[in-house]
């Protein structure tokens, strides 16, 4: 018999559930501009086994000052069997509220590749010329100028994917996930202001540059620090040094194994 287990009008058979996994990304962003604090994502009314994977509080301040909110979230977090986060800001947040140190793990896109992302049947857009992609919209006038000069110098066509940028002639907004990944994989360079733009660039060993969006600053900083990628941030100019992926992947592969181990160990104990 299906029963309402917890919140959000989700009907599930509680007798068959051994573990709930919460995550990832900004589900714990209690100051999110769209939905604010949502106790559902902290496990409200869910007394089943639960872990958190690669969660983030985003740009929220780890020093929570609202005492009632602090007390509520502390109670919820303490009921998790295990917690992992994706950035130092969220690490400090969890530690301050629970006195426990969560593991810092990678975004799921870096530890698994669905087969559909390699399925050529889902690819309709192929670009013949050499090109660079722009993914995101947070680029200052100076950054736009730098990107245009950089690509002109290399005779690269500029393609905007996923978002409309009026300073770019070629905008492709309706790509499905498989086609998006294909376009990114076959690009010469990636310019992005999106967290996952950086994740996919690293996943596919792309030369990329990042425009630091304040909304994503906390999440991306920990990742860049771990992999020595801070020179990818576009400041007053574009650093033309290449990323040495042979060296970077030594660290990345260790982080991938650590992240997979967190999930494997904490799932396996409930499904022996």
Structure letter (DSSP) for residue 80:
-
Ordered alpha helix ranges (H), the chain: 67-77, 88-98, 141-153, 177-185, 195-203, 217-227, 245-268
Give the C-alpha distances (Å, rounded to integers) separating 106 from 47, 79, 196, 269. 27, 23, 11, 21
pTM exceeds 0.85 = yes
What pLDDT shows up at residue 272? 74
Is it the case that residue 163 has pLDDT exceeding 80? yes
For tokens 């509220």, the residue is 97
Token output for 130? 């050499």
**What is residue 123's three-state secondary structure?**
coil
For tokens 């990944």, the residue is 181
Cβ neighbours for 169, distance < 8 A, ≥ 6 positions apart: 158
What are the start and end residues of each CATH 3.40.50 domain in the chain? Answer: 115-247
Cα–Cα distance measured from residue 111 to residue 96, given in angstroms and rounded to the nearest whole number:
28
**What is residue 50's three-state secondary structure?**
strand
Query: Which H or E run includes 166?
Result: none
Closest CA to 159 of 117, 138, 128, 119: 128
What's the pLDDT tens digit per position in 188-199? 999 999 999 999
Is it the case that residue 160 has pLDDT exceeding 90? yes
Ordered alpha helix ranges (H), 154-194: 177-185
Mutual orientation of helices 67-77 and 88-98 as an angle, nearest 10°? 90
CATH of 115-247, one of 3.40.50, 3.40.640, 1.10.10, 1.20.1260: 3.40.50
Over the chain, what is the mean pLDDT? 93
Give the model's confidence band at 6: pLDDT under 50 very low, under 70 low, under 90 confident, else very high.
very low
What's the pLDDT tens digit per position in 51-92? 999 999 999 999 988 999 999 999 999 999 999 999 999 999
């Amino acid at each position: 018999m299906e029963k309402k287990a917890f919140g959000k009008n989700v009907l599930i058979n509680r007798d068959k559930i051994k573990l709930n996994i919460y995550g990832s990304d900004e589900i714990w962003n209690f100051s999110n501009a769209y939905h604010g604090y949502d106790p559902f994502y902290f496990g409200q009314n869910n007394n089943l086994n639960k872990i958190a994977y690669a969660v983030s509080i985003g740009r929220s301040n780890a020093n929570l000052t609202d005492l009632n909110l602090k007390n509520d979230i502390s109670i919820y977090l303490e009921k998790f069997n295990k917690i992992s986060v994706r950035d130092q800001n969220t690490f400090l947040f969890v530690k301050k509220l629970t006195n426990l140190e969560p593991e810092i793990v990678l975004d799921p896109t870096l530890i698994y590749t669905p087969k559909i992302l390699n399925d050529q049947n889902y690819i309709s857009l192929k670009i013949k010329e050499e090109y660079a992609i722009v993914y995101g919209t947070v680029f200052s006038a100076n950054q736009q100028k730098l990107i245009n000069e950089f690509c002109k110098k290399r005779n690269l066509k500029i393609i905007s994917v996923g978002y409309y940028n009026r300073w770019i002639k070629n905008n492709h907004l309706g790509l499905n996930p498989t086609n998006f990944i294909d376009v990114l994989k076959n690009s010469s360079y990636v310019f992005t202001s999106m967290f996952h733009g950086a994740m996919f660039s690293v996943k596919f060993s792309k030369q990329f540059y990042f425009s630091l969006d304040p909304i994503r600053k906390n999440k991306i900083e920990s990742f860049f620090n771990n992999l020595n990628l801070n020179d990818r941030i576009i400041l007053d100019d574009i650093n033309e040094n290449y990323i040495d992926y042979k060296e970077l992947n030594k660290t990345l592969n260790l982080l991938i194994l650590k992240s997979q181990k967190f999930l494997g160990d904490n799932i396996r104990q409930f499904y022996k």
